[in-house]
A and B are shown apart, each in its own frame.
Chain A
Amino acid sequence: MPPRPNLVSVFRALSIRPGSLAARRPPAATACIAAAAQGGARRGFATEMDDTKEISETLRAKMNAYMSDDPSGKPSLDGPSENELALKQLELAAYGVQPWDVETEGVKFGIPQRAAAATPGVSHKKRYDPVVEQMTKLLMRDGKLAKAQRDMAMILNYLRSSPPPKVNPARPLLPGAPPAYQLPLDPVLYLTLAIDSVAPLIRIRGYKGLAGGGKSLDLPIPLMARQRRRVAFGWILDVVNKKPSKGSGRTMFPHRVAEEIVAVIEGRSSVWDKRQQVHKQGTVNRANLGHSAVQRFKVM
């Protein structure tokens, strides 16, 4: 059975004092810790305070004295015993000082460097680009994430190896987009640009019965970036699922998706019409925002 620390005597000496006492660090205690750090003292409790072990400890002390021919009969120790160290540390804890200071005591293998969580490839939860991660989850069917990831990798590889797209000026991409010939070299950017360019700014939400007489009141609701991307990729997937497949095999589905993404960048895709339709509805229904019911029921 491991030795139990006898905390009673320690806590008996405790007193509740207001405020942090970290600044009032007792000099004796710090000196003690510094000595421990130099001597490579181990953290923990010795067995001396344990009543049941007291006899055997005194015996051992006598044995040591006999072996070292010390007439005083006391064990020859250079500094304070481990037990005293531990007690001092507890005392420090009572004062509000951090007793097990890593810098003072030292660590065996060095302090691990914690990289910034936002650095790609460091945190396993933020391993991929946010757009890629979201689209991968949208590709997923029946909870098969690994398959979705493989599909997404194939989509990116298709974009990487397809010829540079011919951008249609009638369907302008996001302002600040890189020139088309650079896109295949960065497939993630290619994908992001396609999705962000066709993403709608709003959605139409109908409030049933709000317009009076059982008629619903359609209101344009602005979307956040993630929502916009979700809607856009949903439209792309709708088109893809309706398109007949030309081939077979595991590359078929991802290649259809990738072809549609190229079509979006080139302005051939029907997803652009959907976007335009939603925006038209939004501008028409913009007048409804001033409807008295909107203020009355505080829907916005």
Chain B
Amino acid sequence: MSAPNSLRCLARPSAIIPRSLTSAPWIAAPFSTSAPSLAKAETRKGVMPGGHVRSGKKMQLGKFKKNAVRQGKSPLPGERKAYRKRIQLSNSNALPVPGLEDVRPADMVDENKIGRVMSIPGLVLDQLRDVEAFKPTQYWGMFRTPSTLLRAETVDLARRMQNAADKKDMLRLVISGERLTGKSLLLLQSLTYAFMNDWVVIHIPEAQELTTACTEYAPIPETDPMQYMQNNYCLRLLQGIRKANERVLSRLTCAHSHTDLPQNIPVNSTLLQLTNSAKEPEGAWLVFQALWKELMSQTATRPPVLLALDGLAHIMRVSDYMSPSFEPVHSQDLALVRLFCDALSGKSTLRNGGAIIGATSRGNTPRSPSMELSLTQRLAEQAGEEAPKHPPYAKGFDPRSEEALKSVRVVDLKGISKPEARGLMEYWAASGVFRAACDEKTVTRSWTLGGHGVVGEMERASLQTLRP
């Protein structure tokens, strides 16, 4: 059907435009008493056959009450959150970057590769997705393939991990820094390194899910002081571990038999079978414990383990859970958190080498004075300076958290250097996202606007902008 009007100009219509259809007969002839007008009137709501409108029949409370008419069905429970948390990892509109290579394990420890952007290989990408390493606030969805910048800290961290694996040592490290400096991304890079080197990776993507009382908990019998297991979370964690580490776990066999689990696991069955035995929340914690015991086994050969956690401040405080006697439960009385903290403090060791990495977060994070103080102290010690003392009159300190962070290594992330910024911005420009000449002036401008190379701020200044 052709439109009666031309779309672009106001030329005369070829067809006759229908007159307004609102002229109902009872409006056109208000004094008529013919049958159609009566019939019309009867159909109207609140109008009596005589044409009398009964006003005052409808009571309306509230002067500005809206008649909210919802059309269509509203989203099902969970759909809104799924939409909010949806992560898009690639953009087919973005230009493919010529010369972009997949990162290899050797690249991450090569200091000549500092300042280069390299893409994450597809296999590792799936693994990272399984352990929920990507976050919805990151800018993955603007580029063709997910790629990361190898910065000096990345290479340093990867080398430390390599050393730990070689010496069967234990790297205990906390990633700290100002907001938007790339803490979660450095953690993601450490996960990438671990996956590429066939480590077993256990990643807790949001520590707040453990401690803000949003998942079920139950006391573990025969523990003093009482500890708590979180079976639902453990089940989800185990499923992530199974998916991400399937290749490694299927190669390893159990050194012990596990009879107390929901499913009997004999000796020499694979660790994948052991992980698979958690089908329901009941017993998930037991399965996790058994898996941990197997990974720490000295009798069999085991790969290094990476235990990573994002949002460290959430586990360095009293949790939102309550004990049966209605006392607040400390986060480190939750069994999974305790396992992490014991390893972080060095109380328990990874027998076959590995790394414990916690990353702090600056958004949606509770204040943890103990963590802040401990990290400042560790940084001062690393720099060979005198560590700041405990402030005598300040409140809110937590000795257990300080104990957990007593001997960790701290990486204090700051802005990237200008050569690194150049590499990153050239990648943006080559992807067609940053549409300006990428010269020294532009790079310096973005670097300065981004608070001397704070990556997130540079992204804001260059990508999240209204400029074409």
Contact = CB atoms under 8 A, between A and B. Distances in A.
A161 B140 CA distance: 11
A244 B74 contact: yes
A68 interface: no
Interface residues of A, number: 48
A153 B84 CA distance: 17
Contacts of A129: 466-468
| Size class of the B contact interface (CB-based, 8 Å) | 35 or more
A252 B83 CA distance: 9
Interface in A104-163: 120-121, 127-129, 132-133, 136, 149-150, 152-154, 156-157, 160-163
A187 B71 CA distance: 31
Contact of B4 (A171, A185, A280): A280
A9 B260 CA distance: 111
Contact of B93 (A160, A251, A284): A160
Interface in B3-26: 3-5, 7-10, 12-13, 17
Given A184-B93, A244-B74, A248-B83, A157 B464 contact: yes
B433 interface: yes
Interface in B107-143: 141-142
Contacts of A162: 93
Which of B83, B141, B463 neighbours the largest number of chain A CB atoms within 10 Å of its CB? B83
Which of A153, A164, A249, A279 neighbours the largest number of chain B CB atoms within 10 Å of its CB? A279
Contact of B92 (A120, A163, A276, A283): A163
Given A244-B74, A247-B75, A280 B5 contact: yes
Nearest to B73: A244
B77 interface: no
A103 B427 CA distance: 44
A225 to B, nearest CB: 15
Interface string A92-107: 0000000000000000
A220 B463 CA distance: 43
Contacts of A276: 3, 5, 7
25 contacts: A153-B466, A156-B466, A160-B91, A160-B94, A161-B88, A161-B93, A161-B94, A162-B93, A163-B92, A171-B7, A172-B7, A172-B8, A185-B93, A185-B95, A188-B466, A246-B79, A246-B80, A246-B83, A247-B75, A247-B80, A247-B82, A249-B84, A276-B5, A283-B5, A286-B10
Interface of A: 120-121, 127-129, 132-133, 136, 149-150, 152-154, 156-157, 160-164, 170-172, 175, 184-189, 201-202, 220, 244-249, 251-252, 276, 279-280, 282-284, 286
Interface of B: 3-5, 7-10, 12-13, 17, 70-72, 74-75, 79-84, 88, 91-95, 141-142, 432-433, 435, 463-468
